Amino acid sequence: MSKTPAQRARKHGERAAVAPSARPGARVPAPQATPRAPQAEGNPKLIIIAALGATVFMFWYLHLLALAQMTQLSSGLAMPDSMVAGFAPSYLEQVRGAMNADALGQLSYVHKTAGTIFPLVFGLAFALVFGAWVRGLAARRAGFALVGAFVIVRIAGNIVIDTALGSQPFNSGLAALAAGLVIAGWALFALVLLLWGANALISWRRKQAAAGQAA
């Protein structure tokens, strides 16, 4: 049978009536923190994969669909911006002679829509890739520089091609500039992919070496 505080005080003194936790110097256990539910965090890897998927789709749509179909309006001549090795100014004049005003307008529309969206999506995707997956500062800066140069050169090339095709009389200087921009655009495109591939290979080898050392 438990005793009341008054009974404990008469038997043991006033200190016995005080609860142990309320005595001077008594250590009160700290309340345990309520565990928090883990916060949902976005996965940047999924964003990068989605951007790369959009890049692949836009490349297919622009080069393998839209520009390929434009050859039906140019008597089978390839569109200038799809020629990796460039073209002579006379070739651009030949394309202009094979296409009427409506066909040239359709090519200009392709350049303003898919021809602009593709380099922008490509630039965004690989800016994310170099920013998130490339460790070396020098390699990251080089990647950003190549991506930015590709976007500018590719869009500028589209503008110069349309200007050269619509020039009256035909401007060989603009045609040569357009050819140079096309070559530079494809070269920058390849350099971006090569830099990405090289960094991916280096990262994979580092992981393999770390796994071998751990084993």
CB-based burial label for 106 (10 Å; 0-12, 13-18, 19+): middle
* Cα gap 189→146, rounded to integer Å: 8
CB-based burial label for 103 (10 Å; 0-12, 13-18, 19+): middle
* Cα gap 9→125, rounded to integer Å: 78
pLDDT at 44: 82
pLDDT at 10: 61
Considering only residues 22 and 67, tell me which one the structure prediction assigns the higher pLDDT: 67
| Pick from 36-40, 103-107, 116-120, 169-173: least confident | 36-40
Residue 16 pLDDT greater than 70, yes or no: no
pLDDT at 40: 41
| Per-residue confidence band for 145, with pLDDT thresholds at 50, 70 and 90 | very high
| Pick from 16-25, 54-63, 93-102, 205-214: least confident | 16-25
Tokens of 55: 């890049």
Three-class DSSP category at 13: coil
Tokens of 181: 């921009």
